[in-house]
């Protein structure tokens, strides 16, 4: 009898081998990741994809079962993050809380936001509100992981408890820490979005495609996070599989930016493209105008260009928006001493301002005026960009 108890405590009901324990951990962890990125994030928070009710409810159950996350609360906190991104009201911005706090203690920031009922009420609209949500998932959120602990213990004994503990640490750290922290601190940017979001890697395998965080911030409602040909989003791969099986319906993906040739003046198609791809336009401007002008300055100035730290050179892409006051003043002084850079940055500011307009006709006239002046600027890179931007248009693809 004693031996049987010890055997159960050690091995559970399954007597699983080490490979089976590893497979179990990987499977349950991946299910949690997919529940978050596919259901909570892409479907509920941004309406980029709809899932069959059976699949949607499985994801909703698994989120509760494995993380204690309530759909309405998660969605509300994430929507506020987008609405107030990089401000004092952002629930988890490393720009205000610091990278160490968000990376290592992101779960606590989530819990603080979760306790603020006004966030849930304002940003959580349109999420499930059925009997199960009200009386089980939202009423007893902590019961989900507790139930999962007992299941893991029954199946694998004490090793199940170890695996459960690992998942309870790993999943929140990757979601609340790495994505919310490093995803606004370190990585590369495809698009000069109106925040500090970055892509952690071009291959989104480990955390469901959430690695492509800058792409997501550029097009929040897109069900597909990858934008460039070399990028891979495993979450999108799963959506396409579910779509082929009739278990998902893609609602939105980011429209591609097409460029027409031999367009002599901007038109309404140009304006639609700019309004949709305003972040991509600013990225194109940096790559096509600012960067070449900076290289010309480096050629003419020689080693003196290195007097400007890399951080400040990189800040030219955002006009120095994310610099502190002292660094911003230093960058402004550096620009003012170089007429070519001053011209380029002034045109960047004007282009950004005209794309913030709400009147389509006024925006079109302002863009025409901007293009005419850019073509007369004498800056070859600026002239080429003005000619290029006239041909912008949307090319919708799925």
Entry field: residues in the chain:
398
pLDDT for 263: 86
**What average pLDDT does the segment 376-380 reach?**
92
pTM, two decimal places: 0.87
**Nearest Cα to Cα of residue 334 among 353, 315, 350:** 315
Burial of residue 300 (number of CB atoms within 10 Å: 0-12, 13-18, 19+): exposed
pLDDT for 398: 46
For residues 354 and 258, the answer to whether their CB atoms sit within 8 Å is no
Element (H, E) at 275: helix 268-276
Does position 73 have pLDDT exceeding 60, yes or no?
yes
Burial of residue 19 (number of CB atoms within 10 Å: 0-12, 13-18, 19+): exposed
d(C-alpha 17, C-alpha 34), whole Å: 26
Tens digit of each residue's pLDDT (9 = 90 or more) over 122-148: 999 999 999 999 999 999 999 999 999
d(C-alpha 32, C-alpha 20), whole Å: 18
Percentages (nearest 5) of helix, strand, coil residues in the chain = 65, 5, 30
For residue 24, name the pLDDT band (cuts at 50, 70, 90).
Answer: very high
pLDDT for 12: 81
pLDDT for 2: 65
For residue 359, name the pLDDT band (cuts at 50, 70, 90).
Answer: confident
d(C-alpha 252, C-alpha 223), whole Å: 6
pLDDT for 59: 97
**Nearest Cα to Cα of residue 34 among 55, 9, 5:** 55
For residue 9, name the pLDDT band (cuts at 50, 70, 90).
Answer: confident
Burial of residue 227 (number of CB atoms within 10 Å: 0-12, 13-18, 19+): buried
**What average pLDDT does the segment 63-84 reach?**
95
Tens digit of each residue's pLDDT (9 = 90 or more) over 30-53: 999 999 999 999 999 999 999 999
Q: What angle do CA 175, 181, 186 make, to 5 degrees?
A: 120
Please indicate whether residue 309 or residue 217 has the higher confidence score (pLDDT).
217
Which two structure tokens, joined as six digits, stand for 379?
């800056």
d(C-alpha 197, C-alpha 191), whole Å: 9
Does position 394 have pLDDT exceeding 50, yes or no?
yes
User: What integer best gives the mean pLDDT of the chain?
Assistant: 91
For residues 171 and 32, the answer to whether their CB atoms sit within 8 Å is yes
Does position 57 have pLDDT exceeding 60, yes or no?
yes
Candidate from 233-237, 243-247, 331-335 with smallest mean pLDDT: 331-335
**Nearest Cα to Cα of residue 190 among 230, 223, 227:** 227
**Domain map (residue ranges) of the chain:** 2-250, 259-395
Candidate from 117-121, 188-192, 295-299 with smallest mean pLDDT: 295-299
pLDDT for 8: 67
What are residue 395's DSSP bridge partners? 256
pLDDT for 106: 87
For residues 221 and 46, the answer to whether their CB atoms sit within 8 Å is yes
- Antiparallel, parallel or unpaired: β 49-51 and 392-395: unpaired
Q: What angle do CA 164, 185, 41 make, to 5 degrees?
A: 50
pLDDT for 1: 65
**Beta carbons within 10 angstroms of residue 15's beta carbon:** 13
């Amino acid at each position: 009898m004693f031996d049987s108890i010890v055997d159960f405590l050690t091995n559970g009901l399954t007597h699983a081998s080490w490979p089976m324990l590893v497979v179990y951990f990987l499977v349950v962890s991946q299910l949690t990741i997919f529940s978050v990125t596919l259901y909570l994030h892409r479907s509920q928070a941004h309406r980029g994809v709809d899932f069959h009710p059976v699949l949607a409810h499985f994801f909703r159950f698994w989120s509760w079962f494995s993380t204690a996350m309530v759909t309405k609360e998660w969605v509300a906190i994430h929507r506020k993050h987008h609405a107030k991104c990089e401000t004092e009201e952002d629930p988890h911005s490393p720009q205000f809380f610091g990278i160490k706090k968000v990376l290592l203690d992101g779960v606590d920031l989530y819990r603080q936001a979760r306790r603020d009922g006004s966030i849930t009420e304002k940003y959580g609209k349109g999420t499930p509100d059925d009997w199960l949500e009200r009386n089980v998932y939202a009423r007893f959120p902590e019961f989900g992981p507790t139930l999962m602990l007992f299941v893991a213990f029954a199946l694998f004994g004490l090793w199940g408890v170890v695996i459960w503990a690992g998942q309870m640490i790993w999943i929140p750290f990757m979601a609340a820490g790495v994505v919310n922290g490093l995803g606004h601190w370190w990585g590369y940017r495809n698009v000069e979005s109106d925040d500090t979001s970055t892509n952690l890697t071009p291959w989104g395998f480990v955390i469901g495609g959430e690695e492509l965080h800058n792409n997501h911030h550029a097009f929040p409602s897109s069900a597909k996070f990858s934008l460039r040909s070399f990028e891979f989003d495993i979450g999108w791969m799963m959506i396409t599989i579910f779509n082929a099986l009739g278990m998902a319906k893609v609602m939105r993906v980011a429209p591609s930016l097409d460029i027409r040739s031999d367009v002599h003046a901007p038109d309404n198609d140009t304006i639609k493209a700019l309004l949709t791809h305003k972040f991509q336009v600013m990225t194109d401007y940096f790559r096509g105008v600012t960067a070449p002008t900076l290289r010309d300055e480096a050629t003419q100035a020689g080693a003196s260009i290195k007097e400007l730290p890399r951080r400040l050179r990189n800040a030219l892409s955002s006009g120095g928006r994310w610099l502190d006051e002292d660094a911003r003043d230093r960058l402004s002084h550096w620009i003012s001493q170089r007429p070519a850079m001053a011209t380029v940055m002034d045109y960047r500011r004007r282009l950004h301002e005209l794309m913030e307009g709400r009147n389509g006709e006024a925006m079109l006239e302002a863009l025409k005026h901007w293009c005419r002046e850019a073509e007369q600027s004498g800056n070859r890179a600026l002239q080429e960009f003005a000619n290029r931007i006239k041909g912008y248009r949307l090319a919708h693809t799925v």
